[in-house]
Structure 1
Amino acid sequence: MLKTQRRSVLGGLAIAALGGVTPLWAQTAKSVASAAPNANALKLAPRLRIVIPANAGGGWDQTGRALGTALLGSGAADEIEYENKGGKGGTVGLAYYADKYSNDPNTLLMGGMVMVGAVALQKPAVDMSRIQPIARLTSDYLVMVVAASSPIRNVGDLAGRMRANPKEVPIAGGSAGGVDHVFAGVFTRGSRTSPEELVYLPFAGGAEVVQAVLGGKAVAGISGYSEFSEQLASGKLRAIGVSSKRSMFGIPAIREQGIDADMANWRGVFTGQGVSAARQAGMVEAMKLAITHESWQKTLKQNHWESSWLAGPGFTNFIDLDLTTSRVMTYLLKLKA
Structure 2
Amino acid sequence: MRRRQFLANLLAASGAVAGSALTGAALTGCGARQGTGGPGPAGLRARFVINPAARRWSEAGQALAGAARAAGYETGAGTKVTVSGLSAMTAAELNNGQTLLDVATPLARLAGDVEVVVVPGDSRFKDFEGFAAHLLAQPGATPLAGGPQGAPDHLLFGLIAKGIGADTRQVDYTGYPGSQEVVTALLSGKAAAATGVLAAWREGLARGRLRALAVSCAQRVPELDAPTLLESGVRVDFTDWTAAFGPEGMPDESRDAAVRMCEDATSSTGWLAACRAAGWVSIPLGGDDFVLWLASEVERTRAVLHDLGLITSTRATTCRGRCGNGH
TM-score range for the pair, normalised by the shorter chain length: 0.7 to 0.9
What is the CA deviation profile of residues 13-39 of structure 1, one whole-angstrom value per residue up to 9, with x for unaligned ones? xxxxxxxxxxxxxxxxxxxxxxxxx99
Cα gap change, 1:160 to 1:46, in 2 (>3 Å): closer
For 2:126, give the aligned amino acid.
R
Q: 1:64 is matched with which residue: 61, 64, 67? A: 61
Q: Which runs of 5+ in 1 are unaligned?
A: 1-37, 82-104
For 1:233, give the aligned amino acid.
A
Cα gap change, 1:329 to 1:39, in 2 (>3 Å): closer
Cα distance between partner residues in 1 of 2:193 and 2:99: 36
Residue 177 of structure 1 aligns to a residue whose secondary structure is coil
* Contact 1:144–1:241 (8 Å) recurs in 2: yes
For 2:49, give the aligned amino acid.
R
Deviation, 1:294, is 4.2
TM-score of the two chains, using structure 1 as the length reference: 0.75
Choose between structure 1 and 2 for higher RCO, CA contacts under 8 A separated by at least 6 residues. 2
Deviation, 1:288, is 2.4
- Map of 2:201 onto structure 1: 228
Cα distance between partner residues in 2 of 1:46 and 1:198: 49
Cα gap change, 1:290 to 1:39, in 2 (>3 Å): closer
1:75 aligns with 2:72: yes
* Contact 1:113–1:322 (8 Å) recurs in 2: no
- Map of 2:51 onto structure 1: 51
- Map of 1:174 onto structure 2: 147
**CA-based RMSD:** 2.2
Cα distance between partner residues in 2 of 1:188 and 1:213: 19
For 2:61, give the aligned amino acid.
G
Q: Which runs of 5+ in 2 are unaligned?
A: 1-33, 313-327
What is the CA deviation profile of residues 283-333 of structure 1, one whole-angstrom value per residue up to 9, with x for unaligned ones? 122222223444422221111111111112221111111111111122221
Q: 1:266 is matched with which residue: 231, 241, 259? A: 241
What are the equivalent positions in structure 2 for 1:28-43 lying under 5 Å apart?
40-42=36-38
Corresponding pairs, count = 273
* Contact 2:35–2:264 (8 Å) recurs in 1: no
Deviation, 1:180, is 0.7
1:190 aligns with 2:187: no
Cα gap change, 1:184 to 1:126, in 2 (>3 Å): closer
- Map of 1:138 onto structure 2: 111
* Contact 2:110–2:285 (8 Å) recurs in 1: yes
TM-score of the two chains, using structure 2 as the length reference: 0.77
Residue 217 of structure 2 aligns to a residue whose secondary structure is coil
Residue 156 of structure 2 aligns to a residue whose secondary structure is helix
Residue 236 of structure 2 aligns to a residue whose secondary structure is coil
For 1:67, give the aligned amino acid.
L
- Map of 2:276 onto structure 1: 301
Q: 1:322 is matched with which residue: 284, 291, 297? A: 297
Cα distance between partner residues in 2 of 1:126 and 1:201: 25
- Map of 2:80 onto structure 1: 107
What is the CA deviation profile of residues 101-126 of structure 1, one whole-angstrom value per residue up to 9, with x for unaligned ones? xxxx6101112221222232222156
Cα distance between partner residues in 2 of 1:46 and 1:329: 39
What is the CA deviation profile of residues 26-62 of structure 1, one whole-angstrom value per residue up to 9, with x for unaligned ones? xxxxxxxxxxxx994115567532232213xx2x111
- Map of 1:97 onto structure 2: none
* Contact 2:50–2:61 (8 Å) recurs in 1: yes
Q: Give the percent of matched residue pairs that are identical in Structure 1 and Structure 2.
A: 26
Cα distance between partner residues in 1 of 2:132 and 2:99: 38
* Contact 2:88–2:99 (8 Å) recurs in 1: no
Deviation, 1:179, is 0.7
Q: 1:199 is matched with which residue: 172, 187, 191? A: 172
Cα distance between partner residues in 1 of 2:234 and 2:143: 18
